[in-house]
Amino acid sequence: MKWLKISMRRREWLLFGVLYFVAGYYGCAWLTATRASVALHIFSWEAGLPVIPAGIYGYLLPYPAIVLTYLLIRSEVCFRYFVQNIFLVLTIHFLIFLLFPTAMNRSPVPPGHSWSLTLLRHYYTLDPPQNLFPSIHVSLPFLSTLSLWPERRWWRYVMLLATLVICVSVILIKQHYVVDVIGAIGITAVVYTTRRMALSPPVN
């Protein structure tokens, strides 16, 4: 398929993006481990929510969402714009993580044996309860939604639905709070709209 052949030429950018994310995310967690404070704000209603292990399936969606966006964007101009936005959004997140490190007192995983519980336990092992605000898990799929909106009429709704599921899932598994979701949406929207308005001619 033509779109798949085009996407293969972009694999270097995908690999570089993954390396940048991993180095920045875990690097920030390591540098701020001794000074991370409790989240900026916690609503009373979310503080009482139990851990819902099934939310882990939605929490894993950002990874295929990003890869799918790399494959689906047709225009090379739009692709470059998408890649630039990813690195800019990630850089802003990393700076905030370093300047205002946040953490959470993560709820214990409920007892039992299921695929959801097993995945959640493994993810808790890999992902420290830091780097909360803003949520990269929300920012990147939301950026994918905005990037696909101009040229992929059907896929943009699929990505929007995936983003909404992710927004809920990060709260259900107690990896983020509502304020982290709001901050991620706000930062990503500002970055995307500001850079889009600055383009001449604008990307179609």
C-alpha–C-alpha distance, residues 62 and 69, integer Å: 10
C-alpha–C-alpha distance, residues 32 and 37, integer Å: 9
**pLDDT tens digits, residue range 85-96?**
999 999 999 999
C-alpha–C-alpha distance, residues 22 and 36, integer Å: 19
**pLDDT tens digits, residue range 112-161?**
889 999 999 999 999 888 999 999 999 999 999 999 988 788 899 999 99
Q: Do residues 29 and 131 make contact, with C-beta atoms less than 8 angstroms apart?
A: yes
User: Long-range contacts: 51-54, Cβ < 8 Å, 24+?
Assistant: 51/107, 51/108, 51/109, 51/110, 51/120, 51/172, 51/173, 51/174, 52/172, 52/173, 53/109, 53/110, 53/114, 53/116, 53/117, 53/119, 53/120, 53/173, 54/116, 54/172
Which residues does 199 contact at the CB level (< 8 Å), separation at least 6? 81
Q: Average pLDDT in the 58-70 region?
A: 92
Q: Average pLDDT in the 22-30 region?
A: 96
Find where tokens 């939310």 sit.
55
